[in-house]
Amino acid sequence: MGLLDDLEQEAQKRREGEEDVLRRKREQFNEVTIPAIENLYSYLQRLAKTLNFLKSERRATYQIPGYGAVVCRIDADMAVQAQMPMYAREVKLTVTGIIDSSSCPVVQIDGASRVATMIEVFRRAGFDAMQKADKDERGAIISARFQAAGKISMVATFNIDMHSDVLRMEFTNFDALITRKHSLAIGAVNDEILDSVGKYLAHQQNYVMRESVSDENREAWRAKLQQEQQRRQWEQKIAAVQAEEEAKLRGSTGRVTGKIRSVPAAEPVRQPSPAPAPAAPAPGLLGKLSGLFGKKDK
């Protein structure tokens, strides 16, 4: 056998291996994944139909930084759709929330930069809230009044495909103005999970499913919480001591100043007198003789 024959045999083995993998994936998809997503689709259809018929009071509350709570009233327009490509499935549930403006605060914002920040916050949230604005001579908004109004669209999406045994879930604007993502093994999609998802979509609980925490992680979190508590306690003690010291210093300032003022002025420093010049030494014998011979008769 030559080189080409060897290469062709290797390629054939690889093709057979890949085809075998694809065959097992198709079987898994048809026998396990599709029934699970169809069960989920049927559950969501029944949930939407029942909630739309009952028209029960459902409300959602969202916290907007710098503004406060935005309260939504859920209308009875929940709808479920499914897309079914050959080797994938997507189920989408949509529902609309009507903002209850009467239950939302009215906030007056002054200052161009603060107004611009609040406008951007509501833009990211997906709805407007500015009701009245005051502008300067250049047309820039310098003051505005805000009260939430409009609609909030809520979307839940469930995706699967042949190349994965995981159900991917995304929930947008159900308990907060964000998209929450969860993944769950197809084999774990049971009645308990469906019930938890249904309660979340019906705004009866604020979580999709509770994640299990290992004992090791739980102990680590507990230790971290204890450290944080101890740190806060020490910070509070330090702050209390500093406040006490500052109060003492403020109270003693007047007394210290008075003591300093009562000290008499210091006397001027006297300069030392110059030391006297040393006396000339007494003349010796030679000096005396010189004096005698140096005298002249008058």
Each residue's pLDDT tens digit, 38-89 = 999 999 999 999 999 998 788 999 999 889 999 999 978 899 999 999 899 9
| pLDDT at residue 80 in the model | 97
The rounded distance, in Å, linking the Cα atoms of 52 and 28 is: 35
Each residue's pLDDT tens digit, 238-282 = 777 777 777 777 676 555 455 545 445 445 555 555 555 555 555
Instruction: Output the CA angle 211-213-215, nearest 5 degrees.
Output: 165
User: Token digits for 252?
Assistant: 């003693």
Instruction: Reply yes or no on whether the pLDDT at 153 is more than 90.
Output: yes
Instruction: Reply yes or no on whether the pLDDT at 94 is more than 90.
Output: yes
Give the pLDDT band (50/70/90) at residue 11. Answer: confident
| pLDDT at residue 167 in the model | 96
- Percent pLDDT > 90 in the chain is 46
- For the chain, give the mean pLDDT: 82
Strands of the sheet containing 141-146, edge to edge, are 107-110, 141-146, 130-135
| pLDDT at residue 264 in the model | 52
Each residue's pLDDT tens digit, 154-189 = 999 999 999 999 999 999 999 999 999 999 999 999
Residues whose CB is less than 8 angstroms from the CB of residue 93 and which lie 6 or more positions away in sequence, other chains included: 44, 48, 78, 79, 80, 155, 156, 157, 201
Residues whose CB is less than 8 angstroms from the CB of residue 210 and which lie 6 or more positions away in sequence, other chains included: none
- Percent pLDDT > 70 in the chain is 77
Q: How far, in Å, are 26, 31, 221 from residue 23 at the CA level?
A: 5, 12, 45
- Is residue 3 helix, strand or coil? helix
Query: Higher pLDDT residue, 234 or 136?
Result: 136
- Of the given ranges (141-150, 202-211, 238-247), which has the lowest mean pLDDT? 238-247
| pLDDT at residue 93 in the model | 98
